[in-house]
């Protein structure tokens, strides 16, 4: 693991923020790169072809996701912000957390509502953003330390599936997984992920989960096919990541963005569909991948939940629900969980 402060921060007030920001990076070692290569190789060569959604979040992909959240069709961010604006105070009162840990933190914008509420409650000491996207995490850590003058920021650059166990333990914590990110896991992976979150928690910790709910197909499909084409650019950017990181020869203009609701699984699936038959060389995998015309590569699923079914999943993973809130339209669901073990 590489651990260092935020570099490039000058003297004066910014120098003072530097002493409160610490970022640990778990994604540099060779073992991580090998694992990522193996995963990509298996996914690209299997049928149907599929990649882990983490390939979407290089620096450009992370910025494009932020742009998606501002599109009129993409409702989840606005609905979750609406709930947090009304309910962050309740979360702070119920948890009295000293440390907020955000899993898949991205730009950590809505997070500020939680930080404000915990600060007003008088319990907040620090924040841990945890994300696979290093550039985004470093930028948001710096901004938060600047805007919250007494906040300790201890960031962790890591992978949900590998590095939950290294999350710092600083007193009573609130772990937050916002934005509907749980929906990007398929059922088996989701159960493992929830189990790992639960296992990483002490008896005094809490878990705050933001989940997107099932609704009309037209609303769901519009959210992943915005008119400005930002989601399409986000999806196609994966090919640039593969070209750069794996020495692949994808030509993005030869693929089309597809996002459609799969009612059987209750998820939106995001695909790249080959416009014509083609063979793509992937140098670092010493392999070539052939696509027939119309053949797809799945880049993400985004599950839309039924409240009762999701409650059963969380209960099976060992969580006990303390509170839940929805927005005015009932589109999005924020739930607060404990480990079910007695605290004080
Ligand atoms: N929580 C934010 C961002 C959601 S986007 C919001 O609500 O707006 C999903 C985030 O999860 C991205 O920042 C992405 O980089 C991160 N992510 C995706 N896969 C990950 C993985 N396997 N491990 C860690 N972070 C991951
Ligand atoms: C991060 N995640 C919850 C987003 C979603 O809606 O599943 C990612 C995304 N993909 C396309 N648009 C947004």
Closest to 95 measured CA to CA, from 219, 215, 202 = 202
Which CA distances in Å does 322 have to 208, 254, 310, 315?
A: 10, 49, 15, 12
Is the CB–ligand 1 distance for residue 144 below 6 Å?
no
Q: What spacing in Å lies between the alpha carbon of 316 and ligand 1's midpoint?
A: 24
Is the CB–ligand 1 distance for residue 159 below 6 Å?
yes
Residue 84, helix vs strand vs coil: helix
For ligand 2, pick from 65, 108, 228 the residue to mutate: most ligand atoms within 8 Å of CB.
65
Q: Which of 35-49, 97-111, 136-150, 268-282 has the lowest mean pLDDT?
A: 35-49
Q: Report whether pLDDT(278) > 90.
A: yes
Q: Report whether pLDDT(36) > 90.
A: no
For ligand 2, pick from 63, 180, 258 the residue to mutate: most ligand atoms within 8 Å of CB.
180
Beta bridge partners of residue 23, listed in sequence order? 4, 155
Question: Which parts of the chain are beta strand (E)?
Answer: 2-5, 21-25, 49-50, 99-103, 126-131, 152-157, 173-177, 206-212, 255-262, 267-274, 278-282, 287-291, 296-303, 320-326, 332-338
More confident residue, 12 or 139: 139
Q: Which of 2-6, 23-27, 143-147, 201-205 has the lowest mean pLDDT?
A: 2-6
For ligand 1, pick from 35, 131, 176, 234 the residue to mutate: most ligand atoms within 8 Å of CB.
131
pLDDT value, residue 16: 62
For 135-177, what is each residue's pLDDT tens digit?
999 999 999 999 999 999 999 999 999 999 999 998 899 999 9
pLDDT value, residue 282: 94
Which pLDDT band holds residue 11 (cuts at 50, 70, 90)?
very low
Burial annotation 196-208 (CB, 10 A radius, 16+ → b, else e): bbbebbeebbbbb
pLDDT value, residue 34: 84
* Mean pLDDT, rounded, of the chain: 93
Identify the nearest ligand to the CA of 210 by its number: 1
Closest to 52 measured CA to CA, from 221, 197, 185 = 185
CB 39 within 8 A of CB 32: no
For 226-236, what is each residue's pLDDT tens digit?
999 999 999 99
Q: What spacing in Å lies between the alpha carbon of 331 and ligand 2's midpoint?
A: 15
pTM of the model: 0.95
């Amino acid at each position: 693991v590489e651990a260092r402060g935020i570099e490039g921060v000058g003297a004066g007030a910014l120098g003072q923020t530097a002493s409160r920001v610490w970022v640990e990076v778990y994604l540099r070692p060779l073992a991580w790169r090998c694992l990522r290569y193996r995963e990509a190789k298996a996914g690209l060569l299997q049928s149907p072809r599929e990649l882990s959604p983490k390939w979407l979040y290089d620096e450009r992909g992370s910025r494009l996701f932020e742009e998606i959240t501002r599109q009129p069709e993409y409702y989840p961010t606005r609905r979750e912000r609406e709930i947090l604006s009304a309910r962050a105070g309740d979360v702070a009162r119920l948890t009295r957390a000293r440390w907020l840990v955000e899993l898949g933190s991205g730009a950590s914008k809505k997070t500020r509502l939680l930080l404000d509420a915990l600060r007003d409650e008088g319990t907040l000491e620090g924040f841990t953003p945890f994300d696979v996207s290093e550039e985004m995490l470093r930028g948001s850590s710096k901004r938060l330390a600047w805007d919250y003058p007494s906040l300790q920021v201890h960031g962790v650059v890591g992978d949900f599936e590998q590095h939950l166990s290294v999350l710092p333990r600083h007193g009573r914590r609130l772990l937050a997984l916002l934005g509907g990110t749980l929906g990007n896991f398929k059922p088996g992976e989701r159960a493992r992920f929830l189990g790992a979150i639960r296992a990483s928690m002490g008896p005094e910790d809490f878990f705050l989960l933001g989940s997107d709910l099932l609704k009309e197909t037209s609303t769901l499909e519009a959210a992943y096919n915005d008119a400005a084409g930002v989601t399409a650019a986000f999806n196609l950017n994966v090919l640039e990541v593969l070209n750069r990181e794996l020495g692949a020869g994808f030509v993005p203009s030869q693929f089309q963005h597809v996002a459609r609701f799969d009612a059987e699984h209750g998820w939106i699936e995001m695909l790249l569909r080959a416009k014509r038959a083609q063979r793509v060389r992937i140098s670092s995998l010493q392999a070539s991948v052939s696509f027939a015309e119309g053949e797809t590569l799945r880049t993400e699923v985004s599950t839309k939940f039924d409240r009762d079914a999701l409650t059963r999943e969380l209960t099976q993973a060992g969580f006990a629900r303390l509170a839940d809130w929805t927005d005015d339209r009932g589109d999005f669901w924020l739930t607060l969980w404990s480990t079910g073990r007695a605290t004080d």
